[in-house]
A and B are shown apart, each in its own frame.
Chain A
Amino acid sequence: MTDEKPSEAEKPEDKKAEAAKPEAAKPEVAKADGAKPADAAKPADAAKPAAPAAAAAPKPAAKAPEPVIPATAGKFEQFLKEHGIPAQRLPLSLEVETIVLSGDVLQAALRLLRNSSEVKLDLLLTISGVDSNDTYDSVYHLWSYSNLDELVIKVLIKKSDVAEGDLPAVPSIANFWSAANWHERETYDLMGIRYANHPYLRRILNPWDWEGYPLRRDYKQLVDCLNDKNPHSMR
């Protein structure tokens, strides 16, 4: 029943991942170097890696001081840039590469990452909406069925851009990636991010007549059972 091949195939990769476990940024550097020669062919790209790194430089002090950022840009950022998709790499707080995309290139980028033969990020783990201080983020965690790559894609929508009484809009990828369907519905349900031209965008976890988006910071729940006395208690 169990065929040995996969485990055999994984063996070297195991070692690498195992070695990579304790210190964070090393695999990224290795991968980036691995990707370098491909880039070196095109001098046009030579300038690009510097810019995001520079842009990234001030941020970590604000966000998370500990992790050290590799000077080189990430492999997937490079890859996207080669295909003419502007991607900006966030200073990573983990060994996972995090990329910020703008909404309009999201679909193209995901199509590319999923279908291209060199990076096959074909496992969409989850789509989560995050209510940051000044933005609504739609976060995509991409893994791969075939290799060990990970990628986190964030689409940030400034709260200032969202019109009053309107929902932050992100293009939906559910029409070419079925895994996204329910995740987008859930994010719409809980975080109130509207996924444009989603096939069937309606609340999935909450009842259809629920008001408000519970996971937002500004959501007022009817009874705050943590701060005032628990209403269900008979005390």
Chain B
Amino acid sequence: MANLISRAFGGLNEVRRGLATVFKHTFREPITKNYPDEMPDLAPHFRGRLALTVNPETGDHLCISCKQCERVCPDKCIEITSHKSPETNKLELIDFKIDHGLCMFCGLCTEVCPTLCIINTNDFEMADYSRESLIYDLKKLTLSQDESAFYFDRKEMPLPKPKPAKPAPAAAGAAPAAVAAKPAAVPSVAAPGADAKPETEAPEAKAPADSKTVEVKKPEVKAEVKEESKPEAKPEAKAETKTDEPKADEPKADEPKA
């Protein structure tokens, strides 16, 4: 009997402690974010939407259509069409299709890419109404010059030489080695999602084109960011202000390396 009573009181006490512990959480900050309003702060190596970079300094496309990514993709979701140009018999990229409805974002293609051309951006908002629209072609995939500059800086990838023309198998292993290389301690503070989002909405059709034109008269990255922020679309402008900080110190960050 006494045992029973003591057990009952012990049990009630335990319940009370549990209730108290739960009640303590009244005074704690909620850990959830209301997502569409505030974007999550993603890691630089986050494997998001695939994209093709251009050379940050000179705006030329980095892909040399060596088709390693097409070969390595476990889902066979990459399709590259290219041809040997008659004058300089180098492979010339015609079209580059990625079926994001099929991609599983394993990031293998980014590891084997000899010229660090195909990268995982920090953008993950690709929801769309039809599966066809998930197939990104060359225009949709190619990043503008300052975007690729931003990602080169953020992922701390070595900037490519102006003439990236060596699809040597020796370079194949360079990609993971470069990524795995001990990085300079440059904490990238800009919230990536915040600026990755408008970039997708920005009309990228004219991105390579006008970036080239700008690049002709102003070869320096930092200046042309200011230049481009004006002509481009409304949402872009807000993003530019955010992306300025990483880009502002980007040249200084890179000169010691290069």
Residues of A within 8 A of B (CB): 225-226, 229-230, 232-235
CB-CB < 8 A to B132: which residues of A? 234
Give chain B interface residues in 89-137, CB to chain A under 8 Å: 97, 99, 101-102, 131-132, 134-135
Among candidates A226, A229, A234, residue contacting B135 with C-beta atoms closer than 8 Å: A234
Binding site for A on B (CB under 8 A): 75-77, 79, 97, 99, 101-102, 131-132, 134-135
In the assembled complex, the CB of A51 is this many whole angstroms from the nearest CB of chain B, namely: 47
Verify A234–B77 contact, CB threshold 8 A: no
Q: Distance in Å from the Cβ of B71 to the closest Cβ of chain A? A: 11
Most central of A226, A229, A234 by chain B CB within 10 Å? A234
Please tell me which one of the listed residues B76, B79, B99, B131 contacts residue A226 in the complex, with CB atoms under 8 A apart: B76
Q: List 17 A-B contacts (CB under 8 A).
A: A225-B76, A226-B76, A229-B76, A230-B75, A230-B77, A230-B102, A233-B76, A233-B77, A233-B99, A233-B101, A233-B102, A234-B99, A234-B101, A234-B132, A234-B134, A234-B135, A235-B79
Find chain B residues with CB under 8 A from A229 CB. Answer: 76
Residues of A within 8 A of B131 (CB): 234
Q: CA of A232 to CA of B76 in the docked complex: distance in angstroms?
A: 10
Measured between alpha carbons, how far is A225 from B102 in the docked complex, in Å?
Answer: 12
A225 to B79, CA, bound (A): 14
Query: What distance in Å separates the Cβ of B170 from its nearest Cβ neighbour in chain A?
Result: 27
Bound CA span A233–B79, Å:
11
Complex contacts, A233 vs chain B, CB 8 Å: 76-77, 99, 101-102
Nearest A residue to B74, CB-CB: A226
A224 shortest CB reach to chain B, Å: 11
A232 to B134, CA, bound (A): 13
CB distance from B81 to the nearest CB of A (A): 11
Nearest CB on B from A230, distance (A) = 5
Nearest-Cβ distance from residue A225 to partner chain B, whole angstroms: 7
Chain B residues within an 8 Å CB radius of A230: 75-77, 102
**B75, B76, B77, B135 — which one has the most chain A CB atoms within 10 A of its CB?**
B76
- Having A230-B76, A232-B102, A234-B132, one finds 13 other A-B pairs with CB under 8 Å, namely A225-B76, A226-B76, A230-B75, A230-B102, A233-B77, A233-B101, A234-B99, A234-B101, A234-B131, A234-B134, A235-B79, A235-B97, A235-B135
List of 8 A-B pairs having minimum Cβ-Cβ separation, nearest first? A234-B131, A230-B76, A233-B99, A233-B102, A234-B132, A235-B99, A235-B135, A235-B79
Question: Which of chain A's residues have a CB closer than 8 A to the CB of B101?
Answer: 233-234
Please report the C-alpha to C-alpha distance between residue A176 and residue B75 in the assembled complex, in whole angstroms.
43
Provide the bound-state CA to CA distance between A230 and B132, in Å: 14
Instruction: Give the distance to chain A from B164, nearest Cβ to Cβ, in Å.
Output: 27
CB distance from A160 to the nearest CB of B (A): 36
What's the least CB distance linking A223 to chain B, in Å?
A: 12
Give the distance in Å from the alpha carbon of A230 to the alpha carbon of B101 in the complex. Answer: 12
B148 CB to nearest A CB, Å: 25
Residue in A closest to B76 when the chains form the complex, CB atoms: A230
Residues of A within 8 A of B75 (CB): 230
Task: Give Cα distance in the complex from A229 to B135, angstroms.
Answer: 15
Smallest Cβ-Cβ distance to B132: which chain A residue:
A234
A226 to B99, CA, bound (A): 15
Contacting residues, chain A, for B77 (C-beta < 8 A): 230, 233
**What's the minimum C-beta distance from B98 to chain A, rounded to whole angstroms?**
10
Smallest CB–CB gap between A187 and chain B, Å? Answer: 26
B134 to chain A, nearest CB (A): 8
B99 surroundings in chain A (CB, below 8 A): 233-235
Q: In the assembled complex, which residues on chain B have CB atoms less than 8 Å from the CB atom of A234?
A: 99, 101, 131-132, 134-135
A213 to B102, CA, bound (A): 27
A70 vs B79: C-alpha distance when bound (angstroms): 51
- B76 neighbours in A (Cβ, 8 Å): 225-226, 229-230, 233
Closest Cβ of chain B to A19, distance in Å, is 31
Cα distance A30–B51 in the bound complex, in angstroms: 57
> Nearest A residue to B75 by beta-carbon distance?
A230
Residues in B neighbouring A235, C-beta threshold 8 A: 79, 97, 99, 135
Bound state CA distance, A234 and B98, in angstroms?
Answer: 11
**Distance A225 CA – B99 CA, assembled complex (angstroms):** 14
Set of chain A residues within 8 Å of B102, measured between Cβ atoms: 230, 232-233
With the chains together, A151 CA to B102 CA distance in Å? Answer: 42
Complex CA–CA separation, A234 to B97 (angstroms):
11
